[in-house]
Structure 1
Amino acid sequence: MKIGIIIETKDYEKSWNGMRFAVTAEKSGHEVRVFLLGEGVEIPFMHHETFNVGSLVNEFYEIGGELFACGTCMNTRMMKESELCQVSTMFECLRMVEWADKTVTF
């Protein structure tokens, strides 16, 4: 199955659960794409003792998951591109939703 995941929060536990879901789905043989939107673009750099979101983002990247980040959302936060995720647009988000059999949002 093709699964699109939109993460639009930087809440540690919610974004951690979103990335746990992405890693689990990818490891289970599904095609997974994650789109980071709004404050969600900050999660690749978040570290927490219990909810280490950044390490899950790295794991997802290392196992071949596709990760995209809204360029406009990054610009408003004065963030620069990372090797972990492609800077994208709302058109890319739309393409992901159209591509996916199912889309979930965290």
Structure 2
Amino acid sequence: MKLGLVIYSTDSETVWNAFRLGVFALKEGDVVAAFLLAKGVECSSLDNEKFKVTEAMDQFIAAGGRIQACGTCLKLRDSTDTGVCEISTMQDLYRIARDSDKVLTF
């Protein structure tokens, strides 16, 4: 199955769980792509004592996942540093939605 994850939250627990699901799906043999949109482009700054978001993102990439971040959303925040993400466009988000069997939003 092809799974698309659209992450637009800045809630640490929500984003952490989104990437945990992605890692699980990848280990099950699925293809998973994540797209960070709106506030979601801030996810690399969400680590806290309970929820290690960047660790979950690293595990997602290590398992074969791909993370893209909305370039416009980054620009609105005067940021270009995505850490582990490709800077992307609405066209890339559209492709994820079009090509995925399921799209989940967080």
Q: Shorter-chain TM-score category?
A: over 0.9
Aligned counterparts of 2:78 and 2:12: Cα–Cα separation in 1: 21
Gaps of 5+ in 2: none
In structure 1, the residue matched to 2:4 is: 4
Aligned counterparts of 1:78 and 1:23: Cα–Cα separation in 2: 30
Using the TM superposition, give the Cα deviation of residue 44 of structure 1 relative to its aligned residue in structure 2, in angstroms: 2.3
Aligned counterparts of 1:12 and 1:82: Cα–Cα separation in 2: 17
Which TM-score applies when normalising by structure 1?
Answer: 0.94
Number of aligned residue pairs: 106
Runs of 4+, deviation exceeding 4 Å: none
In structure 1, the residue matched to 2:22 is: 22
Aligned counterparts of 2:3 and 2:80: Cα–Cα separation in 1: 27
Aligned counterparts of 2:10 and 2:19: Cα–Cα separation in 1: 12
Give me the identity figure in percent: 39
In structure 2, the residue matched to 1:47 is: 47
Gaps of 5+ in 1: none
In structure 2, the residue matched to 1:67 is: 67
What CA RMSD, in Å, does the superposition of the two structures yield over aligned residues?
1.1
Which TM-score applies when normalising by structure 2?
Answer: 0.94
